[in-house]
């Protein structure tokens, strides 16, 4: 899910601090422990790396690497298990003066689950996995359903998050014939309808409040998915957000992955369409009513300062620090920020205009 302002600010500040450190030699240790991973295995790995470091030729580099590893080993040994979202570990001598010591050792639990395991010894710390969490992510609801099972999830950026899994316990077909078979069939149909309605109600609970929700993908075998959309009484606001209905043979966690894979074309078109529409609106207003727009860093910052910006547009090709600074200023005045890629002609045109633009709430004299 999108980070709240405090989470975002804390992550930005920490990432910037860690990114600014430089070592004179290859002696800064970065360790990423993914969510759910055995912290004891990480400790053993670092103990092994400490033994290997004994082979480093430079006496000072060897000393610094081993001390960095020792400090992280003390941290991991103090943990009974990895934090809920995993943990990022950083240690090393960050002194800017040759021969002097300025050791740091940091353990940071990120606001989102870490999905990467990494050990690196370098002149800088690795912060890419943390910076990726700061990127604006598209959110899509996922529903895979058959008569006997259903799973709901979210596609957040490129990650799939499983929300809930359900079994219906609808009995199988009977071997009896005549009126008994017809009666059992009606019972199964009624139970299926109730199951569909239950899943629709859960979907409302999970998806309805999500302001970031861009669309919903539905999958299932045969006609089941269509039956769900017809009989499940999914609220109109959510039904209107269904952008793809795919034939998927599974209704479990694996089914969610298949649904996302089969919907890749739809997702790509959806994102590009939304981006093209945003840029078309901006350029149309720029041509017809220029005073209701602003572009360029200085004019846009001035407009943000007086609360005149209604919607902020930033090219993804801009410097990341500049993007975050402007996003932070936008948040202070409740302004929605849209990041514009270079995947469309409109996006390229926008970057050539400076990559910073805004639609204004009122004209600035």
Return the pLDDT at 170.
Answer: 79
Return the pLDDT at 275.
Answer: 85
Closest alpha carbon to 119 in 63, 62, 68: 68
E strands within the chain? Answer: 28-33, 87-93, 103-108, 118-122, 139-145, 149-156, 159-167, 213-220, 242-247, 293-295, 309-315, 336-340, 356-360
Residue 100 pLDDT greater than 60, yes or no:
yes
- Do the strands 28-33 and 118-122 form a parallel or antiparallel pair, or are they unpaired? antiparallel
Closest alpha carbon to 196 in 250, 251, 243, 158: 251
pLDDT average, residue stretch 43-65: 95
- Confidence class for position 254, pLDDT limits 50, 70, 90: very high
- Confidence class for position 177, pLDDT limits 50, 70, 90: low
Residue 176 pLDDT greater than 80, yes or no:
no
Its pTM stands at 0.57
Residue 134 pLDDT greater than 80, yes or no:
yes
Return the pLDDT at 233.
Answer: 86
Residue 4 pLDDT greater than 80, yes or no:
no
Each residue's pLDDT tens digit, 24-49? 899 999 999 998 899 999 999 999 99
**What is the spatial distance between Cα 14 and Cα 4, in angstroms, rounded to a whole number?**
16
Return the pLDDT at 1.
Answer: 57
- Confidence class for position 310, pLDDT limits 50, 70, 90: very high
Residue 272 pLDDT greater than 60, yes or no:
yes
**What is the spatial distance between Cα 137 and Cα 97, in angstroms, rounded to a whole number?**
41
Between 40 and 100, whose confidence is greater? 40
Average pLDDT, the chain: 90
Return the pLDDT at 286.
Answer: 94
From first CA to last CA, the distance across the chain in angstroms is: 39
Residue 167 pLDDT greater than 80, yes or no:
yes
Q: Which of 26-35, 178-187, 262-271, 344-353 has the lowest mean pLDDT?
A: 178-187
**Contact 272/342 with Cβ under 8 angstroms?**
no
- Confidence class for position 302, pLDDT limits 50, 70, 90: very high
Domains of the chain and CATH, by start = 5-133 (3.30.960.10), 139-262 (3.30.420.60), 271-360 (3.30.1330.30)
Return the pLDDT at 141.
Answer: 96
For residue 44, the tally of other CB atoms under 10 A from its CB is 13
pLDDT average, residue stretch 351-363: 94
């Amino acid at each position: 899910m999108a980070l709240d302002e405090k989470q975002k600010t804390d992550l930005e500040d920490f990432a910037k601090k860690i990114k600014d450190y430089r070592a004179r030699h290859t002696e800064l240790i970065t360790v990423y422990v993914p969510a759910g991973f055995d912290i004891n295995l990480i400790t053993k790995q670092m103990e092994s790396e400490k033994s290997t470091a004994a082979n480093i030729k430079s006496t000072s580099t060897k000393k610094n690497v081993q001390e960095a590893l020792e400090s992280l080993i003390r941290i991991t040994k103090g943990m009974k298990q990895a934090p809920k979202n995993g943990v990022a570990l950083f240690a090393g001598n960050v002194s800017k003066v040759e021969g002097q010591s300025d050791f740091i050792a940091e353990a940071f639990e990120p606001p989102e689950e870490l999905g990467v395991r990494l050990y690196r010894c370098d002149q800088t710390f690795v912060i890419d996995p943390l910076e990726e969490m700061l990127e604006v992510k598209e959110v899509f609801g996922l529903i895979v359903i058959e008569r006997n099972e259903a799973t709901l999830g979210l596609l957040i950026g490129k990650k799939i998050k499983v929300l809930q899994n359900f079994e219906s316990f609808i009995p199988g077909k009977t071997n009896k014939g005549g009126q008994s078979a017809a009666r059992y069939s009606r019972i199964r149909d009624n139970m299926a309808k109730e199951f569909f309605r239950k899943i629709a109600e859960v979907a409302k609970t999970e998806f309805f409040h999500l302001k970031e929700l861009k669309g919903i993908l539905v999958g299932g075998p045969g006609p089941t998915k269509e039956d769900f959309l017809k009989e499940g009484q999914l609220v109109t606001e959510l039904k209107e957000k269904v952008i793809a209905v795919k034939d998927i043979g599974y209704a479990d966690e694996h089914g969610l992955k298949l649904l996302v894979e089969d919907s890749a074309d739809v997702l790509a078109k959806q994102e590009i369409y939304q981006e093209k529409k945003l840029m078309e609106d901006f350029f149309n207003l720029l041509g017809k009513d220029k005073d209701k727009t602003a572009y360029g860093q200085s004019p846009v910052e001035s407009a943000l300062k007086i609360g005149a910006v209604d919607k902020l547009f930033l090219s993804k090709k801009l410097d990341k620090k500049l993007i975050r600074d402007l996003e932070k200023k936008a948040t202070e005045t409740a302004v929605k920020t849209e990041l514009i890629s270079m995947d469309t002609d409109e996006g390229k045109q926008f970057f050539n205009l400076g990559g910073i633009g805004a639609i204004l709430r009122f004209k600035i004299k």
